[in-house]
Amino acid sequence: MAVDLSVNKGKLKLKNPILTASGTFGYNFEYGRFVNVASLGAIVTKAISLEPRPGNDWQRICETYGGMINSIGLENVGIKKFIEEKLPFLIKGNVDFIVNLAGASIDEYVQLAQICEANNINAVELNVSCPNVKSGCLEFGTDETVLHNLVSQVREVYSGCLIVKLTPNVTSVEKIALAAQDAGADAVSAINTVKGLSVKIRYINGKFQKETVQGGLSGKAVKPIALGVVNRISQVLDIPIIGIGGIYSLDDVFEFLSVGADAVQIGTANFTHPDISERLIEELKDFMESNGFQSLNELKEKLRGE
């Protein structure tokens, strides 16, 4: 008997709970040579801004123990080019997708959301937590009043599934998550990258050479932080939660589901194992089939001891 992997909670409707995270999977079929993109629960596009952005200069990434730090600076093609050149392939290829939006002002987010509404885009994820860009981005996700204002205004113009991606770089993530829910978000995703700094020092010819990358930490190292955040917000939220952070295996997926996630996003692991997203769907299906679970909801209930 076929197992039911679907997620169906309010406006969050997914054929399975394995998604790929923004910034790690491109805009559409970049990973098509590794996975059947249409088989994924959804891909979350690279963050898209109103105007194209060139991103940051020079050293943008660095491997760290158990992960990596990135400081890409939201390099992207801009919403116009996305709609004209990337979107048609997503639609034609039958890919379920979520458009990640990054604005420098509330007005920009609203404009982006209006464009998505006008183009019948089913789901958007607001990037209110990117720690890379000096202007704007950080503040939205770190102040519950500002975030509430932002989400409310986007909600007014956007009728699809509105997801808010939370930053862990805050004192009370519960307050921020509640602000998103109160303002009308349909779901939250957590977490975005954790602020960090990599320093590498070499001693060459009697001189110290220092290389630094300041940016967002991701990968296995952030999993406990992400699990902690998901666990905390699941105590206070009614809307669904998409867990993100260091997911590399089916066990990792189970850990997130057990603390309250309804779905997960695979991020940095795509770089290490480009076929991992589809493989996890297969592994999840196999596990459920061989252990008699008929639906994802049943699996989640058992995982949560309900």
Q: Tell me how far, at minimum, the Cβ of 203 lies from other proteins, in Å.
A: 15
Strand, helix or coil for residue 151: helix
Farthest-apart Cα atoms in the chain, separation = 69
Q: Tell me how far, at minimum, the Cβ of 202 lies from other proteins, in Å.
A: 10
Q: How far is CA 89 from the centre of its chain?
A: 21
Q: Tell me how far, at minimum, the Cβ of 60 lies from other proteins, in Å.
A: 5
Nearest residue (CB) to other proteins, 61 versus 91: 61
User: How many whole angstroms separate alpha carbon 151 and alpha carbon 125?
Assistant: 11
**130 is an active site residue:** yes
User: How many whole angstroms separate alpha carbon 207 and alpha carbon 79?
Assistant: 46
Q: Tell me how far, at minimum, the Cβ of 240 lies from other proteins, in Å.
A: 27
Nearest 5°: phi and psi at 188?
-125, 155
Nearest residue (CB) to other proteins, 217 versus 296: 217
Nearest residue (CB) to other proteins, 30 versus 108: 30
Which residue ranges make up the site for other proteins (CB under 8 A)? 23-26, 30-31, 33-34, 46, 54-55, 57-64, 66-68, 70, 72, 75, 219-220, 268, 270-275
Nearest residue (CB) to other proteins, 65 versus 208: 65
Cβ 230 vs Cβ 188: under 8 Å: no
Amino acid 41 reads G
Other CB atoms within a 10 A radius of the CB of residue 61 amount to 13
Q: How far is CA 17 from the centre of its chain?
A: 13
Catalytic residue from among 62, 116, 130, 161: 130
Residues acting as catalytic residues: 130
